[in-house]
A and B are shown apart, each in its own frame.
Chain A
């Protein structure tokens, strides 16, 4: 009986020790999983954060959440896999960085039925394939968005076909995470530099660094303008509104005839396709915003059809435009060349830029050969005289065959050129004007004005369909919102691996590889022989 008890006790003791060892190991695993130590062996520790980033991240004023909703699956395009790998290394380094406030990385599966974790419930995160930087008080900013195209039939000409790889490349290219794209051996554009660190640190500072109170884009109302909240596929400006919100710029509307001045939190005014004229008091408010507060203005105006508004040129905004060295003729651009119109939609295609010294807004269009689509448009020229020391630049032009028709509502079709009043040749359609901060300004920011000769360029009609228009809108927002003193973080060179061996060389490699197992086999035979002999 005693022996039986002893045996049973030993068995129990044995299992208790097993349970204790298991518990100890699980506990150790738990603590180790909290560690984030890494040793970077690469030359110049290129997978760790640069000194510049570390110094900047020490200025954080509140904790930061970085949320990645890209699910790593085997069927993702290769470029997306590569991006995820580069991103993981960077996010790991950011999470471990000795910052003044915590940076937390969350990989989220938005398709999962589980609720969001508590600390993310304040943010709107219901879309896959996003990278979002957010903080409780600073809002959220979308750094990367990649929409998976639903499968379409490549032989069906009525639906545009794009491969997932192509869509992913465009999303990455637009996100500015990669730079210096070069054609690879197989003719595909591949990036050679990773700018993720600069991109992420910049966004983190925007969200959780020193607060910039001016973070709202005000769209004017009261003159028949297009609305930022209008989802209409033709005339709405909701796509532009989405681009602004992705940059953590709030969107609101303002009726300047009611408000005495532009609100303090305004970073920019957007006047999208007005139909009525602005009154003197409204013009004065806009002038004050631009001249005294380093404001920004995006103005898109269409050719005027109604005779009632012709008495106040450019909808009453001529004085502002003149002050900033821009003239906006009340004309219509007429182009007789059918090749400048889209065959299916009839959209006017703009693809003429300056030969050199192009503005940064359209630099990528030139490099990639992208065009911009528009409906009817009007000329937007810069003046030769420099009114208030601003720098003006015309950035997009009509084709050489275009005419700028004055009094176009009265003209016959096809119109005959009026030598005295009409414009001809490459007529500018988008112009910009900017001025560095002067002593009179209350802020240190530059004043920037961009005028587009058609409100359709930034409307949903083209922003949702044309890559050129999307890029233009994004670049306008980047240009308007750029902070010149940022950041001196060097991009990281990407590793590229390739091979170019002939068949004979592969054969030679195979034979040389055979040396190792051959040696093992001979050693085994020798050892076998020794065992037999000795």
Chain B
């Protein structure tokens, strides 16, 4: 199983690296993020921004994810189903778990590479303008680690959503639009519940039940305030791992359905 996983991972990473679509999407994404970062740095003192400026990148990448993740995940399974290579793959000695985990890991790896590309902007500020970097708080390692862990945890779940979307259709455009919609919906629910004062220890309505079982869907975005300052909120990370497990399990079910 492990060998199968590594083979799939290697193949998927290779296919991502030779796909023009990933380069185009990464170029546009990083270019827009870079321009946004430059103007944010100039204007943030006059705004209501209270978090460390470095966290603007984490939020930019988080809210840019609906535009980025579909490009990384939409073709992974949908394309194989369309071409009929998935059935061939299933005849090889690899199980559905290895296929799903390998494809997800490859997308996630590429997503993390893009995050590293985005985080090189503040790194450039540190190299070119060290005194400004200090006054902007760029020299605090906890801000870097916190923001990156936040992105890693949400990136993992968004990639899982993308893989699931790709597994339920043969058309990669449909898969892309579906993953865009699901990730946008996820972010919208988090944004709507931002700052909601409902931390109550008893069930008094369906809202409270949703708050308990919905995981990071409910007030997940609030936790950026913890991560941005270098406080790792473990339940948020665990919630995202549960989301990864949920969507990858559903994707595995879909793939197994094809096998049978």
User: CA of A108 to CA of B233 in the docked complex: distance in angstroms?
Assistant: 22
Residue in A18, A21, A510, A521 whose beta carbon sits within 8 Å of that of B38 in the complex: A510
Bound Cα distance from A405 to B207, whole angstroms: 69
The answer to whether B128 and A89 have CB atoms under 8 Å apart is no
Q: Which of A10, A512, A515 has the most CB of B within 10 A?
A: A512
Find out whether the CB atom of A117 lies under 8 angstroms from the CB atom of B198. no
> Which B residues lie within 8 Å of A43 (CB)?
140, 142
Q: Are A72 and B23 in contact (CB under 8 A)?
A: no
> Is A22 part of the contact surface with B, judged by Cβ < 8 Å?
yes
B256 to chain A, nearest CB (A): 9
Does B253 contact A107, Cβ atoms closer than 8 Å?
no
**A520 close to B215 (CB less than 8 A):** no
Flag whether B6 is at the interface (Cβ < 8 A).
no
Report the minimal beta-carbon distance from B204 to chain A, rounded to whole angstroms.
7
Q: A501-B132, A530-B18 are in contact. List 14 more A-B contacts (CB 8 A).
A: A14-B253, A18-B250, A32-B242, A41-B141, A47-B229, A72-B196, A85-B225, A88-B225, A88-B226, A92-B226, A500-B135, A506-B41, A516-B34, A517-B31
Asked whether any CB of chain B lies closer than 8 Å to the CB of A213, the reply is no
Is B109 part of the binding interface, using a Cβ–Cβ cutoff of 8 Å? Answer: no
A sample of 22 cross-chain residue pairs with beta-carbon separation below 8 angstroms, ordered by A number, consists of A21-B253, A29-B215, A33-B213, A33-B239, A37-B234, A38-B234, A40-B232, A41-B141, A41-B230, A42-B142, A73-B195, A74-B48, A88-B226, A104-B201, A107-B197, A107-B198, A107-B199, A114-B205, A497-B45, A516-B120, A520-B30, A521-B23
Residue of chain B at shortest CB distance from A514: B34
- In the complex, A26→B242 CA distance in Å? 9
Partner of B24, one of A14, A17, A38, A524: A524
B1 CB–A CB distance under 8 Å:
no
Instruction: Tell me whether B92 is interfacial, beta carbon within 8 Å.
Output: no
Q: How far is the CA of A250 from the CA of B201 in the complex (A)?
A: 30
Nearest-Cβ distance from residue A22 to partner chain B, whole angstroms: 7
Q: Which positions 87-103 of chain B face chain A at CB distance < 8 Å?
A: none
Binding site for B on A (CB under 8 A): 10, 14, 17-18, 21-22, 25-30, 32-33, 35-43, 47, 68-69, 71-74, 78, 81-82, 85, 88-89, 92, 104-109, 114-115, 117-119, 185-186, 495, 497-501, 505-506, 508-510, 512-517, 520-521, 523-524, 527-528, 530-531
Q: B48 and A509: CB pair below 8 A?
A: no
List the A side residues contacting B196 at CB < 8 Å: 72, 109
Q: Is B129 an interface residue (CB 8 A)?
A: yes
**Any chain A CB within 8 A of the CB of B212?**
yes
Question: Contacts A32-B215, A497-B53, A509-B124 hold; do A41 and B27 have CB atoms under 8 A apart?
Answer: no
In the complex the two chains form, is B242's CB within 8 Å of A29's CB? yes
B84 at interface (Cβ–Cβ under 8 A)?
no
User: In the complex, what's the smallest C-beta–C-beta distance from B7 to chain A, in angstroms?
Assistant: 22
Contact indicator A508/B120 (Cβ below 8 Å): no
**List of A residues within 8 angstroms of B222 by Cβ:** 88
Q: Which of A41, A68, A78 contacts B142 (CB 8 A)?
A: A41
Q: Name the B residues within 8 Å of A104 (CB-CB).
A: 201
The 4 closest A-B pairs by CB, nearest first: A72-B195, A524-B23, A107-B197, A37-B234
Residues A497 and B137 in contact in the complex (CB < 8 Å), given A21-B250, A32-B238, A36-B235: yes
B231 near A14: Cβ-Cβ < 8 Å:
no
Cβ A38 vs Cβ B197 within 8 A: no
Is B186 an interface residue, CB under 8 A from the partner? no
Whole-angstrom distance between the Cβ of B168 and the nearest chain A Cβ: 12
Considering the complex, give the chain B residue whose CB is closest to the CB of A33: B212
Cross-chain contact B27 with A509 (CB below 8 angstroms): no
The CA-CA distance from A427 to B173 in the complex, in Å, is 85
Contacts of A521 in B (CB 8 A): 23, 27
Cβ of B172 within 8 Å of any chain A Cβ, yes or no, is no
Q: Check if A71 sits within 8 Å of B212, measured CB to CB.
A: no
* Cβ–Cβ contact A25 & B233, under 8 A: no
Residues of A within 8 A of B239 (CB): 29, 32-33
- A527 is contacted by which of B20, B30, B212 (Cβ under 8 Å)? B20
Q: Name A37's contact: one of B145, B214, B230, B235 (CB within 8 Å).
A: B235
Q: Is B182 close to A, CB under 8 A?
A: no
Residue in contact with A499 in the complex, picked from B45, B197, B231, CB distance below 8 Å: B45
Asked whether B232 lies within 8 Å of A500 as measured between CB atoms, the reply is no
CA distance A59 to B18 in the complex (A): 64
Complex Cα–Cα for A468 and B173 (A): 67
Across the interface, do A71 and B17 meet the contact criterion of CB distance under 8 Å? Answer: no
Question: Contact: A523 with B23, CB < 8 Å?
Answer: yes
Checking A21, A27, A35, A41 against B146 with a beta-carbon cut-off of 8 angstroms, the contacting residue is A41
User: Is A71 in contact with B197, judged by CB distance below 8 angstroms?
Assistant: yes
Q: Which residues of chain A have C-beta atoms less than 8 A from B195's C-beta?
A: 71-73
Partner of A114 from the list B204, B215, B246 (CB cut-off 8 Å) is: B204
* Interfacial chain A residues near B128, Cβ < 8 Å: 508-509, 512
Cα distance A101–B76 when bound, in Å?
52
| A11 to B, closest residue via Cβ | B257
User: Per-residue CB proximity of B6-45 to A under 8 Å, as 1/0?
Assistant: 0000000000011010011011101100110110011011
Contact between A10 and B132, CB atoms less than 8 A apart: no
Of A26, A47, A497, which is within 8 A of B136 by CB? A497
Query: Contact between A81 and B238 (Cβ–Cβ < 8 Å)?
Result: no
**Which residues between 147 and 205 of chain B lie within 8 Å of chain A, taking CB atoms?**
194-202, 204-205
B246 touches A89 (CB 8 A): no
A513 and B226 within 8 A (CB): no
Q: B35 to chain A: which residues have CB within 8 Å?
A: 510, 513
Most B-side CB within 10 Å, residue of A28, A41, A117, A530 = A41
Known: A10-B260, A118-B202, A527-B17. A509 touches B135 (CB 8 A): no
Inter-chain contact A25/B242, CB cutoff 8 Å? yes
- Complex CA gap A88/B205 in Å reads 24
